[in-house]
Amino acid sequence: MKTFYITTPIYFPSAKLHIGHSYTTVACDTIARYKRMRGFDVMFLTGTDEHGQKIETIAKEAGVTPKAYVDEIVAGIQELWKLMDISYDRFIRTTDDYHEESIQNIFAELYKRGEIYKSEYKGAYCKPCESFWTDSQLKDGKCPDCSRDVEQASEEAYFFRLSNYTDKILRLYEENPEFLQPQSRVNEMVNNFLKPGLDDLCVSRTSFTWGIPVSFDPGHVVYVWVDALSNYITALGYGNTRYGDFDKYWPADVHLMAKEIVRFHAIIWPAMLMALDLPLPKKVYGHGWLLFGGDKMSKSKGNVVDPVILCGRYGVDAVRYFLMREVPFGQDGNFTNEALINRINADLANDLGNLVSRSVTMALKYFEGGLPEERLAAPVDDELTGMAAELPAKIESLMDDLQLPSALIEIFKFISRTNKYIDETMPWALAKNESNRPRLASVIYNLLESIRIAGILLSPFMPQTAPKIFGQLGIGGESIRWESAGKFGVLPQNARVTRGDVMFPRIDLEKERKELEALGGPGKEAEDTLKAQAAAKPEGVVNLVDIAEFAKIELKVAQIIACEPAPKSDKLLKIQLDDGAGTRQVVSGIHEWYSPEDLNGRKIILVANLKPAKIRGVESNGMLLAADMPGNEARVIFVDDSVPAGAKVR
Ligand code: MSP
């Protein structure tokens, strides 16, 4: 049997997961269910990422051990997945003994191979909090936890030789366009991380203890990504004896995640696997974010939406449907209660719910004891049956391509077409005349059969609704299997239906919004503002900034006065600029396309107030603007010589 291995990221133990978190897991679950229906032996893995300084600190504040703290939260996460009907096959906790054993083995192996070495970690350190922070974590240059001053400090640490892998990862993307998707993520990785060149990665710490001890140097704990990413293989039994599925399922078919952690999965993870001489995953897919008010949902912004409340009010399948339908896969999209309720009303209550209830009602009304054998086809049937015949192959190709929203769109086109068939054939008019019974039987049969097919194709998305539909049609076994969606006429000729409860009651939008707001959900005002913004947004633009935000960025014309290759890099140029007020140095990853002679004397646009950074050890004060070109190239934006250096660009 063919295998299929799919993973979610392992979740940080956060007291309340929000609807954005459940997005990744629902998507994985949908794909896993689809693959099982297609006959694959599926391994669907999820779990929790439980180590690190943050947990250690929170647990200390709560007066419990870190393990006791995470145990309770992990139980809550597992409850949520149960509620949302997530059919994972295995759940890994990074605190599981077998995982810890594997990580120690992996770390020691990398060290033995010379891929990990001991050195010094330098960074901003907050003494009272005993914490190191990266520049991006600092808030206004101060500790993000206690707002006190930080100081530069260092500690002994192990490093992974990630810098050796820049070219190998670039080659991986070039040779395997399937590896990282959607394509926009490749551009992000190449331009933001690979072109500037990778730095070695700190993989151990001594400043906290809540982690897996390095077996040969127990003062160190393994730091973050080696521990977290390896879960995808330790959960199969790599480096431990708990499981024996590594050969069966590895390499993974899909690692699915949201875009902010693509970098770790598409750069660090393949580099680690290369270092261990292991096969690479077949695909890393970075979907977009579910936003609220144009912002990523997060507890600190107070804009989180609770999936438990939504599932309780509308049913799990309505929430799952919304998540998979609303946002084009791979892009960002906004969550609003209004959009959710409108989708439930329009697609689920109106289109799907009405189709099922009208058809079942008519079948019962006109043929109480079951459909008669005698039938009469008509040309009007052909469009419906033709569409049904083409649909499964279309859905399969979209699902195989992870285009989940597009698959739902196609299924609902078919549902709408079936509704239209009722209007075209007008069964109530046929029923008036006894001589039309064979034709009426044919119409009702075609309706029920179309519902059966839609029900099968919806099964991976809506695991509770599909059985309800099959229950009303009175079918099971072979006739609800995926393969039978491709055949029209599988429903037993004498099908007997039964009426069921209303699957998706209509919701009163305004009343519901008020109640949700009272429960702490996003308010109407915020949603209306969002709607107005979306209406004003030019097509193709995802994130809008207001003019005040844009004004924070200082753009200036500057003239290149000297330029040379940066040391130890074939991609970087060290450029001296006259910015009108003086001279400054910037480092730019454009050497592949420009030599110093191409640039000397020319005028460019400078981002003048970018925080200084060290790129490959060379100080860079700002950035010059360049345009992304097809084929991962870049073109510097040159400015007319008549514009003086220092001129403001706005
Ligand atoms: N622990 C790391 C992953 C380690 S994997 C080796 C982590 N955990 S997380 O809990 O922060 O995120 C879990 C998943 O939820 C990720 O795919 C993350 O990107 C996703 N999302 C969290 N908020 C989200 C949205 N608002 N929208 C869509 N997905 C989001 O990162």
Confidence bin at 515 (pLDDT 50/70/90): confident
Q: What is the mean pLDDT of residues 260-278?
A: 97
Give the percent of the chain with pLDDT over 90.
71
Q: What is the mean pLDDT of residues 627-641?
A: 79
Contact 194, 170 (CB under 8 A): yes
Say how many Å lie between the CA of residue 44 and the centre of ligand 1: 17
Determine whether the shortest distance from the Cβ of 24 to ligand 1 is under 6 A: yes
Answer yes or no: is pLDDT of 390 > 90. Answer: yes
Q: How far is CA 17 from the centre of its chain?
A: 15
Check residue 531 and give its pLDDT.
Answer: 67
In 42-165, alpha helices (H):
53-62, 66-83, 97-112
Q: What is the mean pLDDT of residues 250-279?
A: 97
Confidence bin at 597 (pLDDT 50/70/90): confident
In 241-336, alpha helices (H):
246-249, 262-263, 269-275, 307-314, 316-326
**19-59: per-residue pLDDT in tens?**
999 999 999 999 999 999 999 999 999 999 999 988 999 99
Give the percent of the chain with pLDDT over 70.
94
Distance CA 596, CA 470 (A): 70
Check residue 15 and give its pLDDT.
Answer: 74
Check residue 323 and give its pLDDT.
Answer: 96
Answer yes or no: is pLDDT of 334 > 90. Answer: no
Mean residue pLDDT across the chain: 91
Say how many Å lie between the CA of residue 21 and the centre of ligand 1: 6
Say how many Å lie between the CA of residue 24 and the centre of ligand 1: 8
Distance CA 286, CA 282 (A): 14
Check residue 523 and give its pLDDT.
Answer: 61
Nearest CA to ligand 1 atom 26: 20
What contacts 49, CB < 8 A, 6 or more positions away? 9, 10, 11, 12, 13, 94, 227, 228, 231
Mutate to test the pocket of ligand 1, among 102, 257, 295 (most ligand atoms within 8 A of CB): 257
Confidence bin at 138 (pLDDT 50/70/90): confident
Say how many Å lie between the CA of residue 11 and the centre of ligand 1: 6
Distance CA 68, CA 71 (A): 5
Retrieve residue 455's tokens: 């029900």
Say how many Å lie between the CA of residue 544 and the centre of ligand 1: 23
Check residue 529 and give its pLDDT.
Answer: 66
Distance CA 145, CA 141 (A): 12
**178-220: per-residue pLDDT in tens?**
999 999 999 999 999 999 899 999 999 998 899 999 999 999 9
Check residue 404 and give its pLDDT.
Answer: 97
Length of the chain: 650
Answer yes or no: is pLDDT of 540 > 60. Answer: no
Nearest CA to ligand 1 atom 19: 258
Distance CA 165, CA 197 (A): 9
* Higher pLDDT among residues 301 and 254, named by residue: 254
Strands 573-578 and 613-615: unpaired
Out of 383-392, 435-444, 623-632, 639-648, which region has the weakest mean confidence (pLDDT)? Answer: 623-632
CA of 229, closest atom in ligand 1: 6
**290-312: per-residue pLDDT in tens?**
987 666 666 666 666 889 999 99
CA distances from 304 to 12, 21, 137, 327, 513 (A): 16, 10, 21, 17, 16
Contact 560, 601 (CB under 8 A): yes
Contact 441, 365 (CB under 8 A): no
Say how many Å lie between the CA of residue 216 and the centre of ligand 1: 32
Q: What is the mean pLDDT of residues 524-540?
A: 63
Answer yes or no: is pLDDT of 633 > 80. Answer: no
Determine whether the shortest distance from the Cβ of 260 to ligand 1 is under 6 A: yes
| CA dihedral of 309, 315, 317, 323, whole degrees rounded to 10 | -30
Q: What is the mean pLDDT of residues 456-463?
A: 98
- SS3 call for 180: strand
Determine whether the shortest distance from the Cβ of 27 to ligand 1 is under 6 A: no
* Higher pLDDT among residues 443 and 581, named by residue: 443
Out of 100-104, 136-140, 323-327, which region has the weakest mean confidence (pLDDT)? Answer: 136-140
DSSP secondary structure code for residue 146 in this structure: T
Contact 297, 18 (CB under 8 A): yes
Q: How far is CA 89 from the centre of its chain?
A: 20
Check residue 145 and give its pLDDT.
Answer: 77
CA distances from 225 to 10, 216, 251 (A): 11, 19, 19
